[in-house]
Amino acid sequence: MKIYSLSFETSLNLISIWDDSKPGQSAFHGFFEQAFNQGFSWMPGSVTFYNLGKTCRAILEVCLLEADEVFHLQPQTIRAIRVPFEVAGAGIRYTDCMSIFDEAFVPIPPGSYSLVFENQLNYDPEYLNSPAYLSDVEVGFTSEIMRLSFVPTSEVVEPAILRAESWGELPYRIEGYNPLNPTYPLLMKLCLLLPRPVNTGITGPGASVLVTNSSSTSSRDTSLVTNPTSESRPETSGGQNLHQGYVIHPDGVEFYALGNAQIISVEAWCAGEIELDPNSVRAIVVPFPILADGTGAFVPDGRGGGYYLGDLLARGSYALLFEIWLNNDPKYLDSELYQEHTRLGLTEECCRLTFIPTTQAVTPEILRFDIY
């Protein structure tokens, strides 16, 4: 049963959908190669699907099936992808250009769904015989018809590519076309896109990245969260902590930088398994629970604020993987700032925090020692 239809114009090749109970930031996924190759990027309560190309004129249809209704792919569908989707709010929101200011709302009852994304090129005779079609083809734009089908289910939904485009050659030049080339199992992974860089507010051997899990009544007020100075930390054996690269506090964990870090750029990810980044020179895994009565994971920015991840990560137990490396961006290495940092013995470093859901006990472990 079709409940919503909208025509819009854009020049991008994606559409993002998220649960209305989630914050608008849920629409913002990181861009990584495997997501393009499999056609989607997923996280709890949010998913981004990639179109066939840069869509100039698009039609979006949203369908809600009855509990006893059998779902069938449309015969004209070129690409079809299935993912699990939970609706906790009053419906879904979506955007065609990754801007929460252009979002639209569609009412969907709360519940668990198998969400199927279908896509096809617009072969409507009226469009194909119009000046708009000739104009679009000339610059490589597409006109596409997309359908989102919400199929109620009480079973576990595994992500799947249900249909992939199989044309021998493109029907016409499509700007930004990325054929599906998935690696199995399909990746349920996200980037939470913390602003980069994050100034830790500490320089010297004690430079660190702090991840806390404070209660909602104290997380915004404690000095440990907003200004993680050495005076506000619990008494620990500082030398041993530095040598092992981390220390676990009652309400979080602190990871130490490689050197006298002036700036640490931080990314936060969620993944299904531990997979070390080839850039990292140090990797540590520790247990990290996200409590039901708290605000979830919080990363201070060293300037009296920070970034809450609780709205984007489900409550539960995680293995928290910390990886870090020196900034090797050629632009930075060729800059005067790099020369100044080198002269003063300071570093600029990059850190990745990966939250891996688990039901197993996690033992702290150093997975990679400092390798250059």
In this prediction, residue 7 carries a pLDDT of 67
What is the bridge-based pairing of β-strands 261-270 and 190-191?
antiparallel
Percent of the chain with pLDDT over 70: 74
In this prediction, residue 152 carries a pLDDT of 94
Q: How confident is the model at residue 45 (pLDDT cuts 50, 70, 90)?
A: confident
In this prediction, residue 191 carries a pLDDT of 53
Could you name the CATH architecture of 208-368? Answer: Sandwich (2.60)
In this prediction, residue 233 carries a pLDDT of 42
Q: pLDDT tens digits, residue range 226-235?
A: 333 333 344 4
What is the bridge-based pairing of β-strands 282-290 and 79-87?
unpaired
pLDDT at 151 over 90: yes
Superfamily covering domain 2-187: Competence, DNA-entry nuclease inhibitor, ComJ (2.60.34.30)
2-187 and 208-368: same fold? yes
Residue 174 to residue 51: CA distance in whole angstroms: 11
In this prediction, residue 31 carries a pLDDT of 62
Residue 116 to residue 17: CA distance in whole angstroms: 12
Residue 9 to residue 13: CA distance in whole angstroms: 11
Answer positive or negative: Cα dihedral of 306, 310, 312, 313.
positive
In this prediction, residue 330 carries a pLDDT of 87
In this prediction, residue 293 carries a pLDDT of 62
pLDDT at 47 over 80: yes
Strand order in the sheet with 252-256: 246-249, 252-256, 208-212, 298-300, 306-308
Q: pLDDT tens digits, residue range 92-127?
A: 887 765 444 456 788 999 999 999 999 888 777 777
Q: pLDDT tens digits, residue range 319-344?
A: 999 999 998 888 889 999 899 889 88
Q: What is the mean pLDDT of the chain?
A: 77
In this prediction, residue 115 carries a pLDDT of 95
In this prediction, residue 200 carries a pLDDT of 46
Mean pLDDT value of segment 340-360: 88
Give residue for tokens 């190669």: 33
Among candidate residues 321, 356, 306, the one with its CA nearest the CA of residue 245: 321
DSSP code for 232:
G
Q: Where are the domains of the chain?
A: 2-187, 208-368
pTM attached to this predicted model: 0.58
Percent of the chain with pLDDT over 90: 19
pLDDT at 62 over 60: yes
Q: pLDDT tens digits, residue range 163-221?
A: 988 776 767 777 777 788 887 777 665 555 454 444 444 445 568 888 887 643 333 33
pLDDT at 255 over 60: yes
pLDDT at 301 over 80: no
Which CA distances in Å does 169 have to 54, 84, 187?
18, 32, 27
pLDDT at 13 over 50: yes
178 burial level (CB within 10 Å; 0-12, 13-18, 19+): middle
In this prediction, residue 280 carries a pLDDT of 92
